[in-house]
Every structure is written in structure tokens, then in C-alpha cells.
């Protein structure tokens, strides 16, 4: 029996690039002890740097406790306990005292689901969301695959140091409106994936103004907000009050990156929009997080001593150290490494090592790295970068894997 046209075209015809490479790496993973020639995965954005700290914490007695309440339908949009803890966590770490209220928080099973839910709530099929390119590729999939929102990119350039220029978004928006298209929102990924940059207050303010001016939504994906490892000043949209946002700003965060527990599938949406909150309540049954996982995450956040003295300082130090290792190992090549401030990755220009300056040659280099070098890193074209030669390297792997992977990259580039 055949599947629906939409399921067939979306999932049977072409497997998505990142998922495909991830699956191939899983078949033959590198291991220092038993599989030295295996694949090094520096393409999938997971944070393995603090596994030891998390393992110790999560295995502590009392982290998992069963109560009958938890076995029934409860906390489909976030349990009361967890949303209260999240509100305090955000108030103290991201909104600098602007009080975050638990009733404006919804817990969902990952930021991917949050993006899908927002696309469903904001867009009718074919409506447009604007996004900076290069971009985390799954924005397009998460918002497009089932909700059929159309993402339109505005390309950032190396010459501009990949700075965001809100006026270019305005120009594109006006052009699209003139063509009769409906632009419904902008995604602001800050800190940015794949660049690793933190966009400053002025830029975030300008995006808010733009969204208010045109009455469109600002979807602020801040999933890397607590992985900033230099002294960049970061402004979370949680700093804006209800009056300032006019119900148009939706903040997204999750446990997958800053805590490296992507397998727990926990994401969070905060919004002042009452309509959006009500719509998300309707969607709750499809995107809810297991009560027991909410309980464990709640306990992690309640241990502020552990967060302040153990987890965050070590995780940040390790991320910073990883970026230094990239510069140390690859620093003598003829490449450009964009200064990263945050996140699990860095963004590098290998164009000097391409046969020709075109996307075909970039993919050829990707394949040599993957097939001969046994190292998976994602080529820029997968993020919508049209300047050939850029790659994203995930740095939040163990030091052994990072050094072996970088050495393999260097060998292929200089062969």
C-alpha cells in the first residue's frame, strides 16, 4: 500500500543530508581502542564535552523518583513544578531580572518540535519566514516539512564578517510583499548556528523594531544562549517586556545543546502572546515531554550550586579549549577560521583547497574528507552558503576525537 504523496515526497525520495551522514557514521564509529579507522563525526551538533559531569549528576540518588501523579496524563505543556523552575532559571540567567512567568512557558519535546509547532501556528501553507543564510539546515525542514511554511534566505557574506543586517531583511520583505507573498516572520538564531557568532543588542533591537513595524513574528532560537565562551555581550529576547513585544516575539531554548542531553528531547517556548499559548496548549498532546524526564531536568536546574560551580564553568571552559585546539591544529593552513564566541562549532573557509571555486568542488572535497579521510564535517552549501569552500566543524567532541579528526582534515587538505 503506497503512502501519501506528502510522506513519499518528503521522506521516501531523498533522505535529508545531515540525517544520512549521521546514519553512515553510526555504522562504523571511530573508537580509540577498538576502531581506530572508524568514522569521526564532527558534523552532528551534539555536545559530548561534559558527559562525565552529567553522568555523575544524573546517577545521583533521588534524581528519578516515581509518584502516582506522574503516571497519568499530566504536564502535557510542562508540569507546574518544571515551568516554575524554568521561569526562575531564565530570570536569573537570561533576562537579567526581567521576571519570567511560568504561565508563559510551554515545554515541548525539543526545539525542532517547537519550530514545527510555531510554523503551524504562524503560517498557512506557502507563507514565508525569513532567515539568514548560512543557516542551521533543519529550520527549513522543521518549519517546511509538515506545516509547509516556506523559508526564504537572506545571505550573509564573508566580507561583512557574517554580520546580520536587518535592513536587508526589510528590503527582502518589501520585495516579497510586492510580489503578493505573505511574510509572516523572521527567525533570529542567536548565538548563530553555524557561524558561532553572538549578535549584539543593537541588532536584536533592530529585529524587534522590524517585526513590530510590519506586524510579523520574531522567532528567537536561543538554544546556544548558555554556551557563550568569550566575553561577548548577549541580549536574550527574554529581556523584552510584554509591552515591548506586542505578542510577536517567541523565545526558544532547550536542553540538547547547553546541557548536551539531546536524547531527553526537551525544548521550551516562552511567549507573551495569549493566542499563541492557547494554540500551543492545543498542540500539547503531540509534542509533550515525558513527566519523568521533566522531573529529572527540573532537579538539574534546581541544583544551582552544581550549575554555577560545576556544570557551566566546566562546560564553558571545555568549549573554549576545543576552539583553541582547532586554531592550534589547523592554524598553519591557508584557511580562514571565523572567530567563534558560542555554540558547539566553528565556521571555516577551505576555499584555497578546492580544485575550482564552485559548489561541485566543495562537495568533492566533502566526499574526500568523508570517504578517504573518514571524517564527517558539513559543507557550507548544506547551510545555504553560496560562497564555495566553507565548512562547519563540530568542536564539542572529546579532545581525542577532536585532535584525530582535525589531523585527518589537515592530511586530506594538504595531500
Ligand X SMILES: Cc1ncc(COP(=O)(O)O)c(C=O)c1O
Q: What is the 3-state secondary structure (H, E, C) of 225-281?
A: CCCECCCCCCCCHHHCCHHHHCCCEEEEEECCCCCCCHHHCCEEEEECCHHHHHHHH
**Per-residue mark of binding to ligand X, 354-393 (x: CB under 6 A):** ----------------------------------------
Site for ligand X in 35-94 (CB under 6 A): 45
State the DSSP code for 387: S
Interacting residues with ligand X between 266 and 295 (CB under 6 A): 267
Least Å distance, CB 195 to ligand X, is 11
Question: Nearer Cβ to ligand X, position 153 or 267?
Answer: 267
Q: How many residues make contact with ligand X (CB under 6 A)? A: 13
Sheet holding 267-271, edge to edge: 105-108, 267-271, 249-254, 217-221, 183-189, 128-133, 150-155
Cβ atoms of residues 225 and 253 within 8 Å: yes
DSSP classification of residue 353: G
Closest to ligand X by CB, 206 or 221: 221
> Strand order in 378-379's β-sheet?
336-337, 345-349, 390-394, 378-379
- With CB under 6 A as the contact rule, the residue among 95, 256, 294, 351 that binds ligand X is 256
Distance spanning both ends of the chain, measured CA to CA: 50
Phi-psi region of 128 (alpha: psi -120 to 50; beta: other; left: phi over 0): beta
Site string for ligand X, 308-347 (x = CB under 6 A): ----------------------------------------
In the complex, the smallest distance separating the C-beta of residue 92 from ligand X, rounded to whole angstroms, is: 22
The minimum distance between CB 97 and ligand X, in angstroms, equals 26
Q: Which of residues 84-143 bind ligand X (CB under 6 A)?
A: 110-112, 136
Min dist. Cβ of residue 182 to ligand X (A): 24
In this structure, the number of other CB atoms found within 10 A of the CB of residue 319 comes to 26
Q: Residue 334 CB, nearest distance to ligand X (Å)? A: 29
Nearer to ligand X, 10 or 407 (CB): 10
Please count the other Cβ atoms lying within 10 Å of the Cβ belonging to residue 318.
19
User: Is 193 near ligand X (CB under 6 A)?
Assistant: yes
Residues at the contact surface with ligand X, assessed by CB under 6 A:
45, 110-112, 136, 189, 193, 221, 223, 254, 256, 262, 267
Amino acid at each position: 500500500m503506497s503512502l501519501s504523496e506528502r510522506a513519499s515526497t518528503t521522506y521516501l525520495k531523498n533522505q535529508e543530508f545531515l540525517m544520512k551522514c549521521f546514519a553512515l557514521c553510526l555504522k562504523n564509529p571511530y573508537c580509540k581502542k577498538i576502531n581506530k579507522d572508524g568514522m569521526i563525526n564532527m558534523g552532528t551538533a551534539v555536545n559530548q564535552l561534559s558527559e562525565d559531569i552529567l553522568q555523575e549528576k544524573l546517577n545521583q540518588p533521588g534524581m528519578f523518583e516515581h509518584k502516582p501523579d506522574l503516571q497519568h496524563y499530566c504536564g502535557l505543556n510542562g508540569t507546574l513544578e518544571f515551568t516554575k523552575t524554568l521561569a526562575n532559571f531564565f530570570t536569573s540567567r537570561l533576562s537579567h531580572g526581567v521576571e519570567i512567568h511560568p504561565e508563559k512557558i510551554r515545554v515541548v519535546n525539543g526545539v525542532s518540535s517547537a519550530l514545527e509547532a510555531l510554523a503551524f501556528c504562524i503560517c498557512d501553507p506557502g507563507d514565508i519566514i525569513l532567515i539568514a543564510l548560512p543557516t542551521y539546515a533543519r529550520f527549513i525542514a522543521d518549519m517546511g516539512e509538515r506545516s509547509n511554511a516556506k523559508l526564504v534566505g537572506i545571505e550573509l557574506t564573508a566580507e561583512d564578517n557574517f554580520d546580520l543586517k536587518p535592513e536587508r531583511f526589510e528590503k527582502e520583505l518589501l520585495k516579497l510583499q510586492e510580489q503578493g507573498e505573505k511574510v509572516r516572520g523572521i527567525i533570529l538564531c542567536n548565538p548563530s548556528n553555524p557561524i558561532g557568532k553572538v549578535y549584539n543588542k543593537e541588532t536584536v533591537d533592530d529585529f524587534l523594531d522590524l517585526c513590530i513595524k510590519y506586524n510579523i513574528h520574531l522567532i528567537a532560537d536561543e538554544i546556544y544562549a548558555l554556551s557563550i565562551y568569550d566575553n561577548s555581550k548577549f541580549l536574550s529576547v527574554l529581556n523584552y517586556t510584554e509591552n515591548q513585544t506586542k505578542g510577536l516575539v517567541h523565545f526558544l531554548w532547550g536542553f540538547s545543546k547547553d546541557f548536551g542531553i539531546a536524547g531527553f528531547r526537551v525544548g521550551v517556548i516562552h511567549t507573551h502572546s495569549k493566542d499563541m499559548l492557547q494554540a500551543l496548549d492545543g498542540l500539547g498532546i503531540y509534542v509533550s515531554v515525558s513527566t519523568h524526564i521533566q522531573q529529572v531536568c527540573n532537579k538539574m536546574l534546581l541544583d544551582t550550586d552544581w550549575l554555577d560551580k560545576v556544570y557551566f564553568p566546566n562546560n564553558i571552559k571545555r568549549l573554549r579549549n576545543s576552539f583553541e585546539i582547532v586554531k592550534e591544529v589547523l592554524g598553519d593552513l591557508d584557511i580562514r577560521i571565523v572567530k567563534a564566541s558560542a555554540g558547539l562549532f566553528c565556521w571555516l573557509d577551505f576555499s584555497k583547497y578546492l580544485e575550482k571555486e564552485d559548489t561541485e568542488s566543495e562537495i568533492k572535497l566533502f566526499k574526500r574528507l568523508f570517504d578517504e579521510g573518514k571524517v564527517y564535517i558539513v559543507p557550507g552549501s548544506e547551510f545555504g552558503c553560496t560562497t564555495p569552500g566553507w565548512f562547519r566543524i563540530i568542536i564539542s567532541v572529546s579532545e581525542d576525537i577532536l585532535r584525530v579528526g582535525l589531523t585527518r582534515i589537515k592530511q586530506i587538505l594538504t595531500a
